[in-house]
Structure 1
Amino acid sequence: MSARRTREVSSLDIARLLAAQAVMFYHLVFLSWAEAERSRGIRAVVGNPVIFYGSQGWASLGWVGVQIFFVISGFVILMSAENKSASDFLIGRIARIVPGLWVFSTLSALVLLGCGVLPARELAIRLMRSLALFPVGPWVDGAVWTLVTEAVFYGAVFACIKTGAIGRITSIMIASTIFNLILWGAVLLGEAGIFGDAGRDLASLAASYKLRVTLVTTNCYFVAGAALYQMFMRRSLRINAAIFAANYTASLISTYYAGLSSVGVSRFGQDPLAAAEVWGVATLVMSACVLSRVGSGPRFVRLATIAGLVTYPLYLINQITGGFILGAMYRTGLAPMVCVILTAVFCTGLAGLFALLLERPLQVRLRGFLKRFERSAGVLKEA
């Protein structure tokens, strides 16, 4: 990736950090008390949660940050896949994700163990699922499911590079777009009762985890991001603008159905349309900033670079570890919202320390190990 291109898309790093902050406040302000008591997640590690009724309307929508991540990923991964071999792409993705995943999953497991939330055997199973990005949960942290989805997307891009299909990426995006339009058209018709019970079953299935993690109902976000990248590079503008518009529309519908299964809607009667509206506005603003090359100045770029580095560890630390810190803050007797703010600052600071001091060396070592393994495997294959 050239330095010039990095400067031009630095606004994406700011958008990514804002999305991570939205997810964090969703966990700390809403899910910390709204989660089911037997879920053995953030509510359990908080201990005695504080109910923020006044913040319910906005905090319950923070999960939409995940859908924004998916769009950004579609953009960034297509950009990073250019001029890469399949093995280089795969090694790069593993080195990027694994160090943070393993460190913070282990930290979450230690928190759960220290709080007595889970028996050791079940905790060990959850930890192994998390470290391996096993597609079926539960994991030590609920955030892992989104990484599983990302990994499936990486696998699809890897297959495209390996088979040479990456050179026909526009055709693949068009095929995905047609699929998405047919799928969500059928879901809406089913919701309207056109197909009877089968249609209602399809609408219900559209909100399920299985279809989200396998990209059936989430590929529209990634394709929208990939189309945005193609537009950014000024490639086939009309075609890619149409692809973006179609998948943006499909993503609005997908966000609505994801909202139906969210805690805010299922337990507290929130309007699922609100989630689609928030995602829609945020994505349009982000896309406009990217296409307008907003934030290409050196000072903004330095800030954006740090923001981008902090985002991933912050996403991994804010739920279980963050919930534990929040519970400890509550016990000091400080005002509840002050406790939330201090916890958010602490989590962001800890994520920053990891990103700036530890993550890069760990990634370099892992990348080197994978490169050596690749060479050894090649020699053995030739022999």
Structure 2
Amino acid sequence: MRFVAAMAVAISHFTYSGIVNGKISGATLPIISSISRYGYLGVDLFFVISGFVIAHSSISKSLRMFVASRVARLWPAYLACATISTLLISTCRPSWRSGVSLREYLVNLTMVPNLINVDYIEPVYWTLWSELRFYIMVAILTTIGISRGRLIGLAWA
């Protein structure tokens, strides 16, 4: 389901954003573009599902194990994506970005460049800061003894 939510957002960016910005015509993709304008709802769906996944992933784990499992899950894929994005942006020079400096790249590897006023390599990486805040909240709540049931209830909120 998270894949479906992520794909809804990606298709929306590809089609509807292009229509809004005049890059492609809505007539070119009439069926897809009439649906894809609602792809932004995939972000909400993705975060709701992530709330449950994060709460579930914290069960029966120490704080150290929880953090290690989250880092092991996210950071290698992020490193690969950030590196590929940097190489593509630096070699292809898209109209929306002139390049990525070594400093920007290294700061982005922290996953929270916005905390020190550095732009994300790719704008979509803002979602990682939101996910990291969920992880921090779950880590704090489980450390102070909030139960699984209450975490699941919090995920509904």
Q: Which residue of 1 aligns with 2:7?
A: 21
**What is the RMSD computed on CA atoms of the aligned residues?**
2.6
User: Is the 2:89–2:98 Cα contact (8 Å) retained in structure 1?
Assistant: no
Q: 1:158 aligns with which of 139, 152, 157?
A: 139
CA distance in 2: counterparts of 1:35 and 1:109, whole angstroms: 24
- 2-structure distance, mates of 1:119, 1:86: 41
Tell me how far apart the structure 2 counterparts of residues 144 and 83 of structure 1 sit (CA, whole Å): 29
Tell me how far 1:134 sits from its aligned partner. 1.4
Match for residue 153 of structure 2 among 206, 212, 227: 227
Q: 1:228 to 1:132 in 2, by over 3 A?
A: closer
Choose which of 27, 35, 51 in structure 1 pairs with 2:25: 51
Deviations 1:44-100 (A, max 9, x none): xxxxx4333535432122122111111111111111111100000000000000011
More helix by share: 1
Q: 1:100 aligned to 2:77?
A: yes
In structure 2, how many angstroms separate the alpha carbons of the residues matched to 1:124 and 1:58? 39
Alignment of 1:333-372 (within 5 A): none
Structure 1: gaps (5+ residues): 1-14, 37-48, 174-225, 230-243, 248-383
| 1:110 to partner: Cα distance | 1.3
Change (3 A) 1:129 1:67: farther
Match of 2:122 in 1: 141
27-36 or 65-74, which deviates more: 27-36
What displacement does 1:34 show?
A: 3.2
> Given that residues 55 and 148 in structure 2 are in contact (C-alpha distance below 8 angstroms), is that contact kept between their aligned partners in structure 1?
no
The change in CA–CA distance for 1:28 and 1:126 in structure 2 (over 3 A counts) is: farther
1:16 and 1:69 in contact (8 A); partners too: yes
Q: CA deviation at 1:228?
A: 8.8
How many residue pairs get aligned? The number is 149
Give the share of equivalent positions with the same residue, in percent.
28
Question: How high is the TM-score relative to the length of structure 2?
Answer: 0.80
Distance 2:18 2:68 in 1: 36
Whether contact under 8 Å (1:30, 1:56) holds in the other structure is yes
Letter in 2 for 1:93: R
- Unmatched runs of 5 consecutive residues or more in structure 2: none
2:59/2:148 contact within 8 Å kept: no
Which protein is bigger by CA-based radius of gyration? 1
